Structure 1
């Protein structure tokens, strides 16, 4: 963790990660700080890039995307141009929630959502298989999400 964060900053970040819509007054009360001091700290944390954004986290099942698939991608090569082309194009696939460059057996691991297995088959055929340099794919379907968080340890 960045050494410019003190314990108060960590407490603020801890609360905001779990309750992004909390009012400044309530946040200040939770971390035992005046409202004005709390507001200044949050502004600094935003300006310094510790807080990147505020978002609404949707329930995938409720909006019609109950199927979660983890896809291991192997590319035909490791040239910078190929990696850059793959990364540029995979970012345009709306069903891909995450893409990670890996060390190990796969070059990339993708987290993909789909409406059902037929929808995933379409995404696989029409989008993922056509990405630059894709040589092989291995897909694993999540049966159930046991635990999920976006909160980093503070």
Structure 2
């Protein structure tokens, strides 16, 4: 999809501040309010802007542990994979899930209160998800960069 420079500016501004008013956007982009509003709506309707959310500091919620969990499935039948994905979707501590190429099938980003909480999540939940053969966990020691802002 091709974007005009105005649309790219709107996307950059909304990624930096999703609460920016249409007046603020129109002034910064150099459009009058009506065309700016129409462009934002078009971007939403096209699914380019898929939603708006508050970015919450996980540590302020007491979620001090971030782990990356490599998951290998025992069998890769469509039913097993679907059941696994449903279990992943239902688990609130799993923040992201990626199907991967290479030595394992999925990579999960999991948050937990502490190491004991993570042990419970991994051993009593994730390892019992349908089709899971093995998991390998790596812990984040420090967040260097965590951005939701995509290049436009």
| Alpha-carbon separation, structure 2, partners of 1:82 and 1:143 | 33
In the TM superposition, 1:89-128 aligns within 5 A as: 89-128=87-126
Equivalent residue for 2:130?
Answer: 132
The aligned residue for residue 59 of structure 1 is 57
Aligned to 2:73: 75
Number of positions where the alignment pairs a residue of Structure 1 with one of Structure 2: 152
Q: Deviations over 1:35-71 (max 9, x none)?
A: 1111111011111111100001100000110110000
Structure with a larger share of its residues in helix = 2
Q: Which runs of 4+ in 1 moved over 2 A?
A: none
Q: Unaligned regions of 5+ residues in structure 2, if any? A: none
Instruction: List per-residue Cα deviations over 1:71-114 (Å, max 9, x = no partner).
Output: 00000011111111111111100000001111111100000000
After TM superposition, the score normalised by the length of structure 1 is 0.96
- Equivalent residue for 1:25? 23
Q: Give unpaired runs (5+ residues) of structure 1.
A: none
Aligned-CA RMSD value:
0.8
